[in-house]
């Protein structure tokens, strides 16, 4: 009887977890994200009838010099239709404490990108992400954004 309850508990825990349908990281060059380094992720959703949530994943260290982050994200569907967004995220609070999670010197951030997305077509979707940081008062973007170690994309099937 106890064994049956243990098995049932394990199955329920496994069913309640929101396992990613897709997750991938790409490393920056030497711990800095270059202005021209576009991170490209390709995935093929297995379920075109249910909603998904997309997240941009970011690992940074203490050398990241800002409390926010500006990104350009573009998603292209199998038919070639593209949508482009300019995104801003808070990376640290007013006291300078990092908002992500992690132990040691690496902070992991799971940044909301798109919610309740239903992928209407079968096929490969592409998401391209680039940094769009500037110094205050400057029109030109930063050539290199220090402290960014990895950039990723995660796709989760939305739980009902």
pLDDT digits (tens, 9 = 90+) for 71-128: 999 999 999 999 999 999 999 999 989 999 987 799 999 999 999 999 989 999 999 9
The Cα 147–Cα 58 span in angstroms is: 10
Domains and CATH numbers, the chain: 20-157 (2.60.120)
Burial code (b: 16+ CB inside 10 Å, e: under 16) for 36-56 equals ebebebebebeeeebebbbbb
- The tokens describing 31, both together, are 């711990």
Beta bridge partners of 89: 69
Tokens (6 digits) for 9: 């508990």
Q: Structure pTM?
A: 0.85
Q: Looking at residue 94, what is its pLDDT?
A: 93
Check if the beta carbon of residue 68 is closer than 8 Å to that of residue 91: yes
């Amino acid at each position: 009887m106890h064994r049956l309850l243990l098995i049932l508990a394990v199955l329920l825990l496994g069913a309640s977890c929101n396992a990613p349908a897709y997750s991938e990281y790409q490393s920056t060059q030497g711990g800095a994200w270059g202005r021209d380094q576009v991170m490209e992720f390709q995935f093929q959703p297995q379920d075109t009838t249910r909603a998904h949530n997309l997240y941009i994943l970011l690992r940074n260290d203490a050398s990241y010099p800002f409390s926010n982050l500006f990104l350009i994200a573009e998603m292209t569907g199998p038919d070639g239709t593209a949508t482009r967004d300019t995104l801003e995220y808070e990376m640290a609070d007013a006291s300078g404490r990092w908002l992500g999670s992690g132990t040691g010197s690496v902070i992991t951030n799971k940044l909301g990108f798109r919610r309740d997305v239903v992928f209407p077509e079968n096929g490969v979707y592409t998401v391209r992400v680039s940094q769009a940081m500037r110094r205050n008062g400057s029109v030109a973007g930063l050539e290199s954004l220090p402290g960014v170690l990895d950039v990723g994309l995660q796709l989760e099937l939305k739980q009902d």
